[in-house]
Chains A and B, each alone.
Chain A
């Protein structure tokens, strides 16, 4: 019985990687992520130039569950990529560089850096909900998605993954990304949200708006994965609120070949990854399947 999966041309020993945005900006972060037991590391979104991000508060756990953040794409800029890649190689695990930009040229600039640094893939962040001029502002227009993915995939040799977020046209954007050469899709990013402190009557985050992650967005993410898989049969990395084997299994049944875990890594990260992997193994056996790949999209066979 195998837990290995192929996604975007990468062979992973199991389907669980970290979601971008959890650490991933420095060499030390990559080593820490590797110690969590993930099958591939995904870096923090890297932009051509360093970005400072927002002033604190940038993050808060919500009384309704989940986590709200507006870090503001803080990162050290593209020169860090080489160091991140070489660190991942020490641990012999694939590294996916998350790439951010305001236009095609900026995406290409960072993706080329990832390519020449021998990263295993790039994941284009077309969906950050809280950084002006980045992310969802470009990712919600299927034509821009096409242009960015096309520009990158026709320039770099390594596989291109498009990370899309929740918006009305997510299925259209997914189709366009695939047409433009994306080998896989990561679905979904955090969902634009806010939190108001009722005692001071003020919005909590410095940026007011942030991205909601964690269990509250899981059913939304499952729905998006399901719809996009139904329309495209694309290779999908499911992301959003996964915290145990069952929430991961649901993504796989909806059509994901691999999953990313973010918010759940906040507490006991090593155990979280290990428990998901162990649980998926038992689940595959329970379904009498030979491999995890046989479970991909199984919920579509009504």
Chain B
């Protein structure tokens, strides 16, 4: 798929180094699914993999944290500026079964794809545990996405105990009866995902890997999953723990 030019509608600082970006593509975008991502071109600066945070008609939203030169520049662009999107890339992940009870674990900006996942999925119940280091990283998810606010219950965890429950996502997980859930999905830093996969065994445990994507098309191989034949940009970013357990352990160690 060729590049799709997109106009920035708004860009809003939500929390410490955290931004919400809404763009309107100038051409029709292929149907997007939760956990699809785009390579977002920041002209002459960088191209950044961002998962879709929300979609309203022809407006696509991203949530991102400033990490490097590309995201920094992106955060300083204005409404009306043009960027370009390459995608949708990756394989989507959505739940469409009214009997499922889902536990979602999000660490930090790992929250980004969750609103879209919630809006497109069907299930009986969804509990979201969102963990951050300190309250400055938080923003009001339910206010931001009122359409989905009734579709989940939210538990907030802070490592410095400045808000909500005190501790890490893992600490929270240990106090939860995981047998109450038929699907567990974790999104966040590699170390967190690795620990989740160690703590909960089973085929129904999924992790969305942090993006280390360079070309997005299955050619450069930058995003290969260690000790497998899989590529994050083609078969990912959501994998079952069984598929990526080794990769996660190795990635944390190195």
Contact = CB atoms under 8 A, between A and B. Distances in A.
A209 interface: no
Contact of B221 (A24, A62, A63, A69): A24
Contacts of B48: 56
- Interface range for B: 20 to 34
Contacts of A202: 43-44
A59 B84 contact: no
Contacts of B225: 28
Contacts of B222: 74
A74 B220 contact: yes
Given A26-B224, A28-B228, A32-B231, A56 B5 contact: no
Interface residues of A, number: 34
Contact of A28 (B216, B217, B224): B224
A58 B220 contact: yes
A168 interface: no
B3 A200 contact: no
A21 B46 CA distance: 22
B214 interface: yes
Interface string B223-253: 0111111110000000000000000000000
A197 B47 CA distance: 14
Interface in A56-110: 56-63, 67, 69, 71, 74
Interface hub of A31, A197, A269 (most chain B Cβ within 10 A)? A197
23 contacts: A22-B219, A26-B224, A32-B230, A35-B229, A56-B39, A56-B46, A56-B47, A57-B41, A57-B86, A58-B214, A58-B220, A59-B217, A60-B2, A60-B3, A60-B86, A61-B1, A61-B217, A71-B220, A199-B82, A200-B82, A204-B84, A265-B219, A266-B219
Interface of B: 1-3, 5, 26, 39, 41, 43-44, 46-48, 82-84, 86, 214-222, 224-231
